[in-house]
Amino acid sequence: MNLTALAVPKYAAADFSEETWWITLIKAVFLILFLIINVIAALWVERRGLGRMQTRPGPNVAGPLGLFQAFADAGKLLFKEDMWTRRSDKFLYFLAPAIAAFSAFSIFAVIPMGPNVNLFGHSSPLQLADMPVATLYILAVTSLGLYGIVLGGWSTRSTLPLYGAVRSSAQVISYELAMGMALVSVFLMSGTMSTSQIVASQGQVWWAFALAPAFVVYLISACGEVNRLPFDLPEAEGELVAGHMTEYSSMKFGWYYLSEYINMLNVSAVATTMFFGGWHAPWPLSHFGILNDGWWGMLWFFLKMWFFMFLLIWTRATLLRFRYDQFMTLGWKWLMPIALLWLVAVAVVRGVTAWVEIPLPILGGIIVVFFAVVLAILWVTDKGEVVTRDPASEEYTGFEDGFPVPPLPGQQPVKSTRAGREPILATTSEEGTDE
């Protein structure tokens, strides 16, 4: 056996020096097909997976094991009546789902799916494009996709879609801040914002282990970004019917539906790239050069991405929807402080190691202890919800601040002041009378 094959792997960033325009075009078409095929697979995996988790079969009629159910749904959307609401702003009503779909498809442009390989006689990376600020491009396009949701709710001139759009804007802004700060710690450790260089910097250790708090914050924020349970407040069926998509039908609804699942793939791919070693093979397979180079990178990337996809599906089947105040409390009072404290700790570590050499285990232990103490302080000082009134001593009128509400535990409904109506007594009539 060649002992050099078991050496510590060394990785390089993507090299686009031999890239041609037609190879770039082929990559772009491949990414579109790759995303669409993965969405079809995600629909089947989610429905069958949720069925098994909830003790029911899931789709099992359209094709073997329900494999053709996604194609049946796509055909239904294509041939469904395309309605246009009378009061809507026609241009924005049509533009909103197009923005959502365009933004969703654009993220994978800077995601590295493998190293440089031989493509038609040219050495080209399995990545469409890269730039020194590729991760900022991801955050910018993600923010642009919010306009598709906000304009979709506002352009219909309808109440429930507008509520869903406002909720979504507050949700994305809140959780995008925590997500951004979680990614900044990756920038500090990698020394770059280029996605291919971030993947190359994880040759020794994946950032999911070295930056575990940032990794956890990213996972929670990503679930909130894609409006999935337990964070689907903008599309809460029991409150808003379908949120910003309520007034859409046919393929305009289909573009929203497609973009939601592509965004699930996007956050999973970003988690793989930033924290899970990208296309690198998992240890100990990474020490075998033949399994950690060439087209094998696409296999490892695909498996890691679907690991995070399964986590999203599992979360949907397990957790219930939050109340909106709990949702905002989690984002602003927990995720934001934790991400900020961890970012400060990483910045201090990078500054100290630039001047003094400290063994990595000792340094990691100091950071873990500091972070645990800060979390304990936050936990102890958090008072939670303090109830200062006794509902049983208050009169229940059926309304609270002008809104109809059910009685709280211990409250008795107020008796009506209207006089009771005498019951109507049925009497038999004699035969031949008009009664």
Report whether 20 contacts 122 (CB < 8 A): yes
Per-residue confidence (pLDDT) for residue 429, from 0 to 100? 59
How many structural domains comprise the chain? 1
Q: Would you say residue 125 lies in a domain?
A: yes
Report whether 342 contacts 214 (CB < 8 A): yes
Q: Would you say residue 400 lies in a domain?
A: no
- Quick check: 34 pLDDT over 90? yes
Q: Would you say residue 156 lies in a domain?
A: yes
> How far apart, in whole angstroms, are the C-alpha atoms of residue 87 and residue 392?
46
Q: Would you say residue 388 lies in a domain?
A: no
> How far apart, in whole angstroms, are the C-alpha atoms of residue 60 and residue 155?
38
Give exposure, 139-171, as e/b (b: 16+ Cβ within 10 Å).
eebbeebbbbbbbbbbbbebebbbbbbebbbbb
Q: What is the mean pLDDT of residues 4-21?
A: 67
Q: Would you say residue 65 lies in a domain?
A: yes
Per-residue confidence (pLDDT) for residue 364, from 0 to 100? 64
- Quick check: 424 pLDDT over 90? no
User: What domain range includes position 306?
Assistant: 16-381
Q: Would you say residue 418 lies in a domain?
A: no
- Quick check: 363 pLDDT over 80? no
Report whether 124 contacts 23 (CB < 8 A): yes
Per-residue confidence band for 3, with pLDDT thresholds at 50, 70 and 90: very low
> How far apart, in whole angstroms, are the C-alpha atoms of residue 140 and residue 172?
12
> How far apart, in whole angstroms, are the C-alpha atoms of residue 378 and residue 340?
13
- Tens of pLDDT, residue by residue over 292-342, are 777 888 999 999 999 999 999 998 888 888 777 888 888 888 888 888 888
> How far apart, in whole angstroms, are the C-alpha atoms of residue 346 and residue 370?
12
